A and B are shown apart, each in its own frame.
Chain A
């Protein structure tokens, strides 16, 4: 189904991510299969847990339509592991995947090796029913005992009544911890997975994007290395691998999801992906004019990809042009918000990575 020219971005189902996906060109979309992680909506002040769950359940039926509206009918991975309670996960998986496929989409359920049986059974059922396959998402602790891992996988195959060729195997390293070692370690361990060559796809996900920007400075150039991309490129030239992976990352976000608290305000920073780094133009919290100032500088920088590179880049240029008016009269606003800047950053990243993958030898 997918070959090494594909890209799997792991994204949360939030407005910024949705719009970043929506504004991708059709040509780019062909080479992307997003893995969408559903998260609980942000709790309202004084809202009880049950009320938040109910609120999410009410939105569930609309989600498949929205995904097709944003993404179209090409393949998308559906991961409900970050939702609360097993019953909500089961219900969500069923509603989204079943309805999505009925609407003509290609919705592939994602399970973890140690998910509750109810979730696994629902995912197996949906995979068999829709004939769209399944994705197993392995995480680092699963590799503590390779024999046990292979036994668990064998048991899962048996109970799912699916073959390796029906299943996408996603090994999710999450944080690279600042070096190549972790990536290389799990890439090599993955090669020992039973019948590694037989799986429908083998995807390796990781991210070196930091948890926050506390180590970035306003008055310094912040270039953070995209370690996972470097490692991925290196592994493609390796002759020791039985199977080479498909590239997956978390775009411009940290791989471990942390729910924002009610009073959390991100800094007005632009996160701009370059070929081998992320360029962080650090701003300050609640000082939205800094978005415009950074944009005005970024568009003049020789590393900027240009207005026509992506919708995100177009947005950056538009905001940069607004800077000169804004600085004379900040009352006119038009700085953009954390959401619109995240959308622009993700959109640019998606376009860039697809471009990079397409140009690999």
Chain B
């Protein structure tokens, strides 16, 4: 009889089955050496079958379509489980992933096993927009590898590696319904930020609770320094937080994001989409606010949208509020003459009192009064990209 070994493939499996048959034919005593061999073989076969069975699970869409065929259901019949007609269409065409709510109702309502529905769909890199991939190549996302020598799928597969899922919260100037291109671009941008962060050595682990309002207010005071943004980057690094500057990809309208894949080393990505000091500081404070407020609440970006349990707007509002408080405390704002007159004099006066840059205050006044045409000279004159030109030039970081 052959030696018992771990079943790695179909050949091993068939051999194990044969050995089992032979042993069972002998009907050995369970305590005998043959009996123990038989037990071992059965366990190995079960393990292999479990793994082989899982691999052959249908995709969530295949499972839904199969059940529709069985029950003679039309797409409109899925509305009670999925939502609107357009949402059903997006799900069935693979443009949108199932949410936790949908999985729950489909499982309960149509009897489709949750383990089938919860699977991550195979990533179809061929569906990626060519322009996006070209832009990624142009920016050095693929290193020295060219799209001329590799297929789109090969490039993307190599770029993403195992990093197809990540914990990230993105700050965008406005939220739109999520077209595929935007989601792809967001994923690519986030992984690019992670890759850049991996190149940076951080000697100190981030200690949960370090970032709070006081930390943020102290950090904001660096804004008055000539190279404040760089000092902030250094200060964050010394606190275990990496700040990466990476331009946004087309159609993402992204200002920044915080990535919490490694809780010991939170990563903040900032796009500097607007070359303005006020925007840099507000985005930075917003992302820090997420670290302060939502550190323990893992959120996958794809699941944030359209779920009732996790309301992205609420989180964004919470982060906006704390960021605003760090830059311009409401106690000061409530009694400031700037509330009535957003004049440069009011800006200077508040900036001096708070010890932060006047452009930061001007940006806050514009935001709070919703008068974005005011104080343009102050906010537009103070640029920020110049500080990070070195970062930008690191194409193959």
Contact = CB atoms under 8 A, between A and B. Distances in A.
Interface of A: 218-221, 281-283, 287, 289-290, 292-294, 296-298, 300-301, 323-324, 327-328
Contact of B337 (A219, A220, A294): A294
A296 B337 contact: yes
Given A219-B343, A219-B344, A293 B376 contact: no
B346 A327 contact: no
Interface in B328-371: 334-335, 337-346, 349
Contacts, number: 58
A297 B337 CA distance: 7
A276 B345 CA distance: 18
Contact of B343 (A281, A327, A328): A281
B375 interface: yes
Nearest 10 Cβ contacts at the A-B interface: A293-B337, A293-B340, A219-B374, A296-B337, A293-B341, A297-B345, A221-B344, A219-B375, A297-B337, A297-B346
7 contacts: A218-B342, A218-B374, A220-B343, A220-B344, A221-B343, A293-B346, A297-B346
B341 A283 contact: yes
A298 B377 CA distance: 21
A292 to B, nearest CB: 7
B290 to A, nearest CB: 31
Contacts of A293: 337-341, 346
Contacts of A298: 345
Contacts of B349: 297, 300-301
Contacts of B376: 219
Given A283-B341, A294-B343, 15 more contacts: A218-B341, A219-B342, A219-B344, A220-B377, A221-B343, A282-B343, A290-B341, A293-B346, A294-B341, A297-B345, A300-B349, A323-B337, A327-B334, A327-B335, A327-B337
Interface of B: 334-335, 337-346, 349, 374-377
Nearest to B375: A219
A293 B342 CA distance: 9
Contacts of A289: 340
Nearest to A294: B341
A166 B127 CA distance: 98
A189 B204 CA distance: 79
A189 B52 CA distance: 107
Nearest to A325: B335
A287 B341 CA distance: 10
Q: B342, B345, B346: which has the most chain A beta carbons within 10 Å?
A: B345
A50 to B, nearest CB: 45
A298 B348 CA distance: 11
Contacts of B335: 324, 327-328
Contact of B341 (A281, A300, A328): A281
A327 B377 CA distance: 27
Contacts of A327: 334-335, 337, 339-340
A324 B334 CA distance: 9
Contacts of B375: 219
B339 to A, nearest CB: 7
Contacts of A218: 341-343, 374
Contacts of B339: 293, 327
